Structures are given as structure tokens and as C-alpha cells.
């Protein structure tokens, strides 16, 4: 997998290598060092609730950001509440509903462009 990441980085002429972790259980994610110590934490979901636009919240002066993108069919209400209780901010990626794979790419682009 690292070979694919390096190839994508070189092809796009980027100077930073994204970190891609192996899949783990949802609740185990919140105990990971990188997650606990991340400067900004976001969860993007489609549940009708109060959310802010991701682009309004990104602080480029902070060293790290993380965003959770749900599976097809979205997060459950309990999963969203669990994330919020663990200091994640609920965000929207725009006015349209995106597929999970598209939402991940869109979120990465939005976070990079801000």
C-alpha cells in the first residue's frame, strides 16, 4: 500500500506523504495516539443535526487534522454521538450528499485547499 501512496505523491508532485492506516474497529480508533493528539477532529455525516462547513473550521496553522468519513449508509446516531463525546466536531462537506469514496477524496481536497 505504501508503494501506491508514494506513486500517487510523485505523480501529483506533492511533497507530503499521506498516512494510511490499516482498518480497525470504530471504538478502537478513538484510543489511537494520532487521534487522541490530533489538533483538530471532525466527523462528516448526513444525519440532520447542527453541523458547520468543514472549510470554515480548518486552521492551517495547526499541525494535524483528522476527519471521519462514514461508510455507505452513513454513521449511526450512536457513532456520531460517540465521536462528539470524544471531541470531534460535526461538519458538512457541502450542500450535496456524497458517496463514501467520493466524500473521502472531497474532504482531503477541502482540507488541503484551505
Q: What is the mean pLDDT of each run of 10 residues along the chain (114 residues)?
A: 80 77 88 91 93 91 89 93 96 88 86 78
Q: pTM higher than 0.85, yes or no?
A: no
Q: What is the dihedral of CA 75, 48, 42, 7, to 10 degrees?
A: 60
Domains of the chain: 19-113 (3.40.1280.10)
Q: Contact at 8 Å (CB) between 103 and 93?
A: yes
Amino acid at each position: 500500500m505504501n508503494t501506491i501512496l508514494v506513486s500517487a505523491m510523485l505523480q501529483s508532485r506533492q511533497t507530503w506523504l499521506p498516512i494510511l492506516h490499516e482498518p480497525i474497529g470504530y471504538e478502537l480508533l478513538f484510543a489511537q495516539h494520532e487521534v487522541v493528539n490530533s489538533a483538530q477532529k471532525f466527523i462528516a455525516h448526513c444525519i440532520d443535526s447542527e453541523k458547520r462547513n468543514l472549510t470554515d473550521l480548518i486552521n492551517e496553522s495547526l499541525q494535524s487534522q483528522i476527519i471521519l468519513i462514514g461508510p455507505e449508509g452513513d454513521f449511526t446516531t450512536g457513532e456520531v454521538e460517540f465521536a462528539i463525546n470524544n471531541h470531534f466536531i460535526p461538519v458538512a462537506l457541502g450542500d450535496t450528499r456524497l458517496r463514501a469514496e467520493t466524500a473521502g477524496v472531497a474532504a482531503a481536497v477541502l482540507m488541503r485547499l484551505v
